[in-house]
């Protein structure tokens, strides 16, 4: 099963791509020559503005509405992408939600909701796009995990931490099953990055959080986005089932 030639234009779907770190990933991939599908549960003006920024003519970038917790939504987006560009080669599972709460205060319904969106959405995306990649004999999946899924999370909530731990396991499962078909599946587990989401979660505790990070600073979203782009290239064929840690020394192994 032949992989696309390195010079071929590949199409990448990025979930939660309209703002924050997702938008940074979209910019990094587009800079490296990928066509970009900016998806979000509510794309709105931010997604349209990003698409125009990347390609005002709209030839190498489009937006799509995607509720990652709805498997049928995933199918619609895949069909829309293949109808326009012929195929999709890359999926970046970035979208996630959380609500920081002490573990003893989390309502079970809220726990299940966060798990359904974060872990369930990643599962649905890997499964539906994984079938497409398998049938084509090529594909790249990058899942955004988190330090919280490795150390239990202290500021993000038990539901978020559990969902990110599940994503790490799902990455291994899909990596193993899809490897014979030229498809890789990797995870990146950032620590706290300099993003709006992290600032919103930490709030007044930012200085305290920085004091606990060995390197003394938040992560650079652009650097992490470049890691995503690297794992999406044809050159990354021998890397699969791996978790790439970027956490300022908060979790060493």
Catalytic residues: 160
| Residues present in the chain in total | 253
SS3 state at 97: coil
What strands lie across the sheet with 183-190, from one edge to the other?
A: 61-65, 35-40, 11-14, 90-93, 139-144, 183-190, 243-246
* Residue 172: its H or E element: helix 158-178
d(CA 5, CA 8): 5
Full DSSP string of 178-201: HGGGTEEEEEEEE-SBSSHHHHHH
């Amino acid at each position: 099963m032949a992989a696309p030639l390195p010079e071929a234009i590949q199409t990448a779907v990025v979930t939660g791509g309209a703002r924050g770190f997702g938008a940074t990933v979209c910019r990094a991939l587009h800079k490296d020559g990928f066509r970009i599908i900016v998806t979000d549960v509510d794309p709105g003006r931010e997604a349209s503005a990003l698409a125009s920024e990347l390609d005002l003519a709209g030839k190498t970038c489009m937006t799509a509405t995607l509720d990652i917790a709805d498997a049928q939504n995933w199918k619609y987006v895949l069909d829309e992408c293949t109808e326009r560009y012929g195929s999709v080669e890359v999926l970046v599972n970035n979208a996630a939600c959380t609500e920081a709460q002490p573990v003893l205060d989390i309502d079970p319904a809220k726990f299940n909701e966060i798990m359904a969106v974060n872990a369930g959405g990643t599962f649905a995306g890997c499964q539906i796009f994984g079938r497409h990649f398998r049938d084509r004999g090529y594909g790249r999946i990058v899942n955004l995990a988190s330090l919280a899924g490795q150390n239990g999370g202290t500021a993000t909530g038990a539901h978020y931490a559990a969902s990110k731990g599940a994503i790490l396991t799902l990455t291994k499962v899909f990596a193993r099953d899809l490897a014979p078909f030229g498809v890789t599946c990797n995870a990146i587990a950032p620590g706290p990055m300099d993003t709006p989401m992290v600032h919103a979660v930490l709030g007044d505790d930012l200085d305290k959080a920085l004091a606990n990070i060995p390197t003394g600073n938040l992560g650079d979203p652009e650097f992490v986005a470049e890691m995503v782009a690297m794992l999406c290239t044809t050159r990354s064929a021998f890397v699969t089932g791996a978790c790439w840690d970027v956490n300022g020394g908060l979790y060493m192994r």
